[in-house]
Amino acid sequence: MLNNQNLIEPDRVHRSVYTDQAIFDQEVEGIFEKVWVYCGHESQVKNSGDFHCVQIGRQPMIMVRGHDRTIRVLYNRCPHRGVQLCGSQSGNTGSAFVCSYHAWSFHLDGHIRGIPLQKGYEGTRLTAANPDCSMKAAARVASYRGFVFASLAPSGPSLEEFLGTARIAFDDMCDRSPVGEVEIVPVCHRVIQHSNWKFFMENQLDALHPSVTHQSTGVSASRIEQALREAGTTPPLYYHYLSTFASSFDQWDSVQTINFPRGHGILKGYMGLRPNDPDTQDYVASMHEAYGKEKAEEFLGRSIHHVLIYPYLSVQSPLQQLRCLRPIAPDKTLSEIWHFRLKGVSPAIYRRSLWYFNLVNSPATMINADDLENWAKAQWGLESKGGDWVSFHRNHGGDTVEGEVTYSNNGTSEVVMRNQFKAWAAYMGT
Amino acid sequence: MTDARLNERLIEDVVILHNAQASRTGAQVIAPDHQPRKPVGPQSLPMRSAAANQHGSAALQHRVEQFLYHQAELLDGKHWQAYVDLFAADGLYWMPATPDQTEWLDSPSIFAEDVSMMQIRTARVTHPNAWSQAPMWGTSHLVGNAVIESVSETGLVVRSRFQMMELRRDSVRHFAGTYRHSLRVQGDDFRITLQRVDLVNGQAPFDYVLQVWV
């Protein structure tokens, strides 16, 4: 029996939490198959019969819209012989799920609809009234501002309790629309990293790495930006998405992180995404009109770069990007990358999030190319016997604790990782 | 069971001779609208060569093919600047996320790079601290099936197919798809105004990312 508490110390963790298969198995069952897991956005399943397949831990699930408009999350498994009922990632299943093997069919709420030659079951233990004849549903489904989550655990904190203050991720995304809503752009980029999921979560709020890891891209983009300026043209805003990575250590150290219970956290903004061009002025005016000046300025003035929902979600709310992790093995993680369109804004405003999606989050990213390389090398390094501990000592003891929340006094404080492992230890328990 | 009893049973056969119920079997009778609902088939027939029957078409076809081979060779040889120089000053390298996309300004792309953005990528990939470039890395492209879709006085549109094998560190990846080049005639050469690249595996999970153009 593993004693996970011995693996986690306040300022360092044992390498096995990144590499050990038994620990990974325990994470899947004890964390990912219990917490509220993001399934998708309501706008992905607009019509009854629309479905989208999603993995929760190791469980293949279907998010489906019913005739009663309710969104349900069901196990993608025929109760007869176990065959998956949906063979494609998403689509419309009409008024029923029909098994491709023996044509058992199910209503959109998962209840049994029909069994061919049903008389064959007369006198057996299995009748259509038996709940074992219906598709099994996720224990709990809830949504927050259009974002749908499911938990496979029948009890535990509610979705809002789980999200806690980090629900600002979804508020900040939606509040930037004058009608308070976003809509999914139905293209998902999927990228596999040959490394543990924790590297991604740590990296998202790690303010020391960008100017090192992304030096080549940041420097190259700022040089072209400079050349364009010298030639008398204004470089497009999206060049800045790349060139800010070349900021100095001191600049990065001045960006604050806010660390919440359950491992969630925020890296505050640094990109300066409020230019003063006519498109922005129109957009700001529409926000003032919708919410009143004070409220609109509160929404537009929020300083956020990433919000992390531990242990698997990274939301870049000001640019409407979302990355969701699906751990596969200790050294293999799939990330699903989405972005959203603010409802009620001009195409020019949408293009700001589109350019970020194209330049930073696409499979041709000039940013994550170097992150993925780091994490793979980190995985191999931690699999070695060259040392047992991973250091999170930077600024240990130098952060400001206010109740349950820890603020970094230095942007590069490793409080982010310390806070994540505090949550990890609580989930993994003894 | 004795052999005799088995033979007795095997003689009682039922043969389905008339398949009159064929359209009312299985899932068809239970839920004709269950997924997949759309019939599977091509969207439209591919355009045939516009130049095939014209005088001098063989020479044009030859020039176009040589251009495509040259571009692929520059890529495999890591001659990034020479590769970018094949594009017109207003040229665009575009890899849409899905094959049904018709524009790149308002829908997501894997690549949507003008010459200036291509310069950033070139500078990045040749920077000494482009960490992802440390492992051994190389590609080999094969371009073929070139069809000249249209010809005008100033330019032409060419469709072709490619296969690309990539080695990175100790792993091999395979990409394939369609190129569609919009070429502007410049002297006796061409410049690319738009290169559209549709990867067959563009929506599959990427095991690592694409570092340069395909």
Q: Would you identify the CATH topology of the domain A165-428? A: Naphthalene 1,2-dioxygenase Alpha Subunit; Chain A, domain 1 (3.90.380)
Q: Where are the alpha helices (DSSP H) in B103-186?
A: 115-126
Question: Which token pair is A28?
Answer: 């899947």
Contact B116 A365 (CB under 8 A): no
Burial class (CB in 10 A: 0-12, 13-18, 19+), A358: buried
pLDDT surpasses 60 at A40 = yes
Q: pLDDT digits over A206-243, tens only?
A: 999 999 999 999 999 999 999 999 999 989 889 989 99
* Residue whose tokens read 């308070």: A180
Distance in angstroms (rounded) separating the CA atoms of residues A315 and A216: 25
Q: pLDDT digits over B66-121, tens only?
A: 999 999 999 999 999 999 999 999 999 999 999 999 999 999 999 999 999 999 99
Distance in angstroms (rounded) separating the CA atoms of residues A378 and A206: 15
Residue A84 amino acid letter: Q
Q: Report how far apart, in Å, the C-alpha atoms of A240 and of each of A131, A149, A217, A249 are.
A: 56, 33, 11, 18
Question: Which one of B28, B30, B111 would you mutate to disrupt binding with A, by most A Cβ within 10 Å of its Cβ?
Answer: B30
Query: Edge-to-edge strand order for the sheet containing A147-151?
Result: A37-41, A147-151, A140-144
Averaged pLDDT of chain A:
95
Contact A93 B35 (CB under 8 A): yes
pLDDT surpasses 90 at A278 = yes
Least trusted range by pLDDT, from A66-80, B36-50, B192-206: B36-50
Q: State which residue of chain B sits closest to A372, comparing Cα positions.
A: B208
Residue A200 amino acid letter: F
B152 against A54, higher pLDDT: A54
Which of B97, B112, B129 minimises the CB distance to A216?
A: B129
Which DSSP string corresponds to B7-43?
A: HHHHHS-------TTGGGSHHHHH-TTPSS-SPP--S
pLDDT at B11: 84
- Chain A positions touching B208 (Cβ under 8 A) are 191-192, 194, 369, 372
Q: pLDDT digits over B57-75, tens only?
A: 899 999 999 999 999 999 9
Cβ-based neighbour number of residue A138 at 10 Å: 22
Q: State which residue of chain B sits closest to A96, comparing Cα positions.
A: B34
pLDDT at B67: 98
Question: Which token pair is B82?
Answer: 């020479």
Distance in angstroms (rounded) separating the CA atoms of residues A270 and A256: 10
Distance in angstroms (rounded) separating the CA atoms of residues A136 and A79: 8
Contact B205 A103 (CB under 8 A): no
Q: What does DSSP say about strands A189-193 and B206-207: parallel, antiparallel, or unpaired? A: parallel
pLDDT surpasses 50 at A384 = yes
Q: How many CB pairs under 8 A join A and B?
A: 147
For chain B, helix (H) and strand (E) counts, in that order, are: 5, 7
pLDDT at A1: 42
pLDDT at A3: 65
Q: pLDDT digits over A297-342, tens only?
A: 999 999 999 999 999 999 999 999 999 999 999 999 999 999 999 9
pLDDT at A276: 87
Q: Where are the domains of chain A?
A: 37-145, 165-428
- What is the average pLDDT across A383-406? 96
Give the percent of chain A with pLDDT over 90: 91
Spell out the long-range contacts of A86-90 with Cβ–Cβ below 8 A and sequence spacing 24 or more. A86/A51, A86/A53, A86/A62, A86/B35, A87/B35, A87/B36, A88/A53, A88/B35, A88/B36, A89/A52, A89/A53, A90/A44, A90/A50, A90/A51, A90/A52, A90/A53
- DSSP letter (8 states) at residue B131: G
Conformational region of residue A298, where left means phi above 0, alpha means psi within -120 to 50, and beta covers everything else: alpha
Give the percent of chain B with pLDDT over 70: 86
pLDDT surpasses 80 at B145 = yes
Are the C-beta atoms of residues A217 and A370 closer than 8 Å to each other?
yes
Q: pLDDT digits over B10-46, tens only?
A: 887 777 666 655 556 666 677 666 665 566 666 678 8
Task: Residue A306: name the closest of A269, A263, A253 by CA.
Answer: A269
A194 against B37, higher pLDDT: A194
Which of B35, B120, B209 minimises the CB distance to A364?
A: B209
Q: Who contacts B117 (Cβ-Cβ below 8 Å, separation ≥6)?
A: none
Task: Residue B84: name the closest of B156, B191, B211 by CA.
Answer: B191
- What is the average pLDDT across A351-377? 96
Q: Report how far apart, in Å, the C-alpha atoms of A173 and of each of A217, A242, A298, A317, A321 are.
A: 27, 21, 13, 5, 9
Question: Which token pair is A404?
Answer: 């349950």
- What is the average pLDDT across B185-193? 94
Q: Is B130 helix (H, G, I), strand (E, B) or coil?
A: coil
Band (A256; pLDDT cuts 50, 70, 90): very high
- Chain A positions touching B135 (Cβ under 8 A) are 373
Question: Which one of A358, A361, A374 would you mutate to disrupt binding with B, by most B Cβ within 10 Å of its Cβ?
Answer: A358
Contact A354 B131 (CB under 8 A): no
- Chain B positions touching A94 (Cβ under 8 A) are 31, 33-35, 37
pLDDT at A75: 98
Q: Would you identify the CATH topology of the domain A37-145? A: Rieske Iron-sulfur Protein (2.102.10)
Prior bond of A131 cis (ω within 30°): no
pTM of the prediction?
A: 0.94
pLDDT at B23: 54
Contact A224 B119 (CB under 8 A): yes
Which of A213, A354, A364 minimises the CB distance to B131?
A: A213
CA atoms within 13 A on the CB side of B212: 29
Distance in angstroms (rounded) separating the CA atoms of residues A284 and A296: 8
Length of chain B: 214
Residue A400 amino acid letter: T
Which of A92, A354, A363 minimises the CB distance to B210?
A: A363
Q: What does DSSP say about strands B189-199 and B87-96: parallel, antiparallel, or unpaired? A: parallel
Domain B57-127+136-199 class, CATH top level: alpha beta
Band (A377; pLDDT cuts 50, 70, 90): very high
pLDDT at B51: 66
Interface predicted TM-score (ipTM): 0.94
Cβ-based neighbour number of residue A149 at 10 Å: 23
